[in-house]
Amino acid sequence: MNFSLAAELLEATRLTKAGQLTEATAALQRMLGAELPVNSLPSRHGPLTSDGTEMAQPKLAPPANKTFSGGGEAPAFRAKNKSIRPVWANSLRGFIDQTAHGGFPLPGGLAHRAPTPLSADLPNRAEFLACTFSNRAGSRPYKLYVPSGYHGQSVPLIIMLHGCTQSPDDFAAGTRMNAAAEQHTFLVAYPGQTSSANMQKCWNWFRAADQQRDAGEPSLIAGITREVMLDYAIDTRRVYIAGLSAGGAAAAIMGDAYPDLYAAIGVHSGLACGAARDMPSAFAAMQGNGGPAPRRARTGPAASNPRVVPTIVFHGDHDTTVNPTNADLVVAQSGQGASLRRWVEKGQVSGGLAYSRMLHANASGETMVEQWVIHGAGHAWSGGSPAGSYTLPQGPDATGEMVRFFLEHPLPLSSGYACGV
């Protein structure tokens, strides 16, 4: 069929706003080549309550000014956000939800939910700060969670990249990563994509210009990482990055481009680095029709660090938004060049879904790549909270398992990393 992807997207948007949902769905089916059933709106959920513990240690105050990686000094903007505007869920297929301000069952049986606002009640001494970062590639907002147990000691840092149409607040609510930060005492930064950079607020993982070290969006995400490392006492060997869907694909890019900065990565329902180079190849890759994504030659400090970046991967085997074969490509790319022994474990969440866990270990017995396949799951954060969009509470706890995997994998001392800021 000969048609323009852009024209179909605009037509589907127009039909949705006109209330012609059946026709809009047909337009999406032509564009994506997959079913998107339309049904009744899902119910809303109640407010999220705080589940962190209270601690009373004082926090080491960050400097009032800093030098951005793009050059020049600018004042830090930090303000507690008392109210969070609800946003709609993730993925290119979810744009109907966004334009119609409604929700529809997703393929794989997962209903899209409108996220509820984060509770303003934080544990005593904890902070959830609104910040911005700028360099020559542009500017991005980000939220930073500082747990109550932080008082200037060296702690890990986890960067969390949301999916399309999500926000940092929505992603924090859905993953419960802030509660994990309270439990284990680490900082969490949530970079935010803007609608001016991508209409659906997707990280532009499919653009060649945004797949390179120190250029485009990778430079912004790395800049946010380094900015937090400057402002707080971050253990430089324990800096990690994870993401969902488009954010998972971006996390794979960051692990490939910055193996000297990120000790390990987490990819949930995402794609391998270089899986696409433009929009048509992005749709093909998402549908499982893309080819393998070979690792490209690294440049700069990354070229001297040909190490296997430890990677943990989650994907539902009923995901019809990002085909599950993409998880296999992430695993293959992560272990490329290494001789790893593989074995499989089976399990099931009490009252929830079954899963298969594939472990890939090196000669020393250290697990370098860990792959979780959630049986019966669609396109959602496994074990997440219903207060956030695109979560599947019945699945294994992806947040807890990622944190466990991350903390088991500090950056090797032989990596040559020298503060990276």
Q: Quote the Cα angle for 385-52-347, to 5°.
A: 45
State residue 24's pLDDT score: 57
pLDDT at 381 over 70: yes
- For the chain, the three-class secondary structure string (H helix, E strand, C coil) is CCCCHHHHHHHHHHHHHCCCHHHHHHHHHHHHCCCCCCCCCCCCCCCCCCCCCCCCCCCCCCCCEEECCCCCEEECCCEECCCCCCCCCCCHHHHHHHHHCCCCECCCCCECCCCCCCCCCCCCCCEEEEEEEEECCEEEEEEEEECCCCCCCCEEEEEEECCCCCCHHHHHHHHCHHHHHHHHCCEEEEECCCCCCCCCCCCCCCCHHHCCCCCHHHHHHHHHHHHHHHHCCEEEEEEEEEEECHHHHHHHHHHHHCCCCCCEEEEECCCCCCCCCCHHHHHHHHCCCCCCCCCCCCCHHHHHCCCCCCEEEEEECCCCCCCCHHHHHHHHHHCCCCCCEEEEEEEECCCCCEEEEEEEECCCCCEEEEEEEECCCCCCEECCCCCCCCEECCCCCHHHHHHHHHHCCCCCHHHCCCCCC
Mean per-residue pLDDT of the chain: 78
Q: What is the pLDDT of residues 48-77, one digit of tens each?
A: 333 333 333 333 334 333 333 333 333 333
280 pLDDT tier (thresholds 50, 70, 90): very high
The residues spanned by each domain of the chain are 34-39+52-336+373-411
Identify the architecture of domain 34-39+52-336+373-411 in CATH. 3-Layer(aba) Sandwich (3.40)
Compare 324 and 75 and report the one with higher pLDDT. Answer: 324
Least confident window among 3-7, 9-13, 343-347: 3-7
Cβ within 8 Å of residue 382, ≥6 positions away: 268, 314, 316, 372, 374, 392, 395, 396, 397, 398
For 145, other C-beta atoms within 10 Å of its C-beta total: 26
Least confident window among 236-240, 335-339, 342-346: 335-339
